Every structure is written in structure tokens, then in C-alpha cells.
């Protein structure tokens, strides 16, 4: 009888692990490109994958994109706040199936990412 309980516990652990949601993770994305993306397995309490945007009021045109796991209570919400006295607005769109929050990210080195950001900002100045 003891072996049956052990087998039941192991089977339950495999079922719980199989039900964890897998989401795309992007801690920083600019100009539509994720800089350090990967796939992650959410913990059992997380019910949603999300795509989010953060726009800083001072820059206006710079929008950061993020992706990952999120508790459902933050889905479809818009939040505002301040970081180092710079105001920001962020929003989250959620989905509930594995890898539903976007395509595989492009991996860029930090040097390439910073160069792209500088060139894009200079391009905006040339258009003025």
C-alpha cells in the first residue's frame, strides 16, 4: 500500500509540472526587437502569459516592450507611476496558452542593441 501512495505522489508531481504554463520572456525590447529573450516556465500559480509596453512621458517616442508570466489580476490593466521622477505608463495584454505571447526573440549583443538605439535616435533628429 505504501508503494501505491508513493506512485500517486510522483504521478501528481508530473501532472502538476506538465500543467505549468510556458511563456516567452523578454525583459527588455526596443523598436520591436527583444534583446535578451527566452522561453520560461511559469510557476503553478501564474495563469497568464503577457505582452506589455512601458512608455516614458519624457521621451514620448521610446516604448519598451516586455513579455513573460503574469498573474491574471494584472491583465488588461494600465498602470502609471514614476521612476527617478520620470513618469511612465504601462499596459499588459494577456493570453492563457503556452507560448501565446509572441514569436521567438532575436538575440542581440548589448553593443549591437545600444548601437541600434543610438542610430534610431539620431535618425529621428535628422528628420527634424
How confident is the model over 60-98, as pLDDT tens digits? 667 889 999 998 888 999 999 888 888 889 999 999 999
40: domain CATH number is 2.10.60.10
Q: What span, in angstroms and rounded, lies between the C-alpha atoms of 53 and 40?
A: 19
The residue among 105 and 45 whose pLDDT is bigger is 45
The residue among 55 and 1 whose pLDDT is bigger is 55
* pLDDT value of position 23: 95
Q: How many H helices and E strands in the chain? A: 2, 7
Q: Would the pLDDT of 42 be above 70?
A: yes
Question: Domain range holding 109?
Answer: 2-127
Give 19's DSSP letter: T
Burial (CB < 10 A; 0-12, 13-18, 19+), residue 12, is exposed
Q: Which three cell numbers stand for residue 96?
A: 492563457
Count how many domains the chain has: 1
Say what percent of the chain tops pLDDT 90: 31
Q: What span, in angstroms and rounded, lies between the C-alpha atoms of 53 and 46?
A: 20
* pLDDT value of position 10: 34
The residue among 29 and 110 whose pLDDT is bigger is 29
Amino acid at each position: 500500500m505504501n508503494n501505491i501512495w508513493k506512485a500517486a505522489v510522483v504521478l501528481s508531481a508530473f501532472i502538476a509540472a506538465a500543467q505549468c504554463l510556458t511563456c516567452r520572456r523578454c525583459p527588455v525590447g526596443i523598436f520591436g526587437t527583444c534583446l535578451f529573450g527566452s522561453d520560461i516556465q511559469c510557476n503553478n500559480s501564474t495563469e497568464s502569459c503577457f505582452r506589455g509596453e512601458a512608455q516614458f512621458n519624457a521621451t514620448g517616442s521610446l516604448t519598451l516592450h516586455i513579455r513573460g508570466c503574469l498573474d491574471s489580476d494584472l491583465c488588461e490593466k494600465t498602470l502609471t507611476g514614476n521612476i527617478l521622477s520620470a513618469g511612465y505608463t504601462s499596459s499588459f495584454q494577456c493570453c492563457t496558452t503556452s507560448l501565446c505571447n509572441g514569436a521567438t526573440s532575436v538575440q542581440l549583443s548589448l553593443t549591437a542593441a545600444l548601437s541600434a538605439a543610438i542610430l534610431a535616435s539620431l535618425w529621428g533628429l535628422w528628420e527634424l
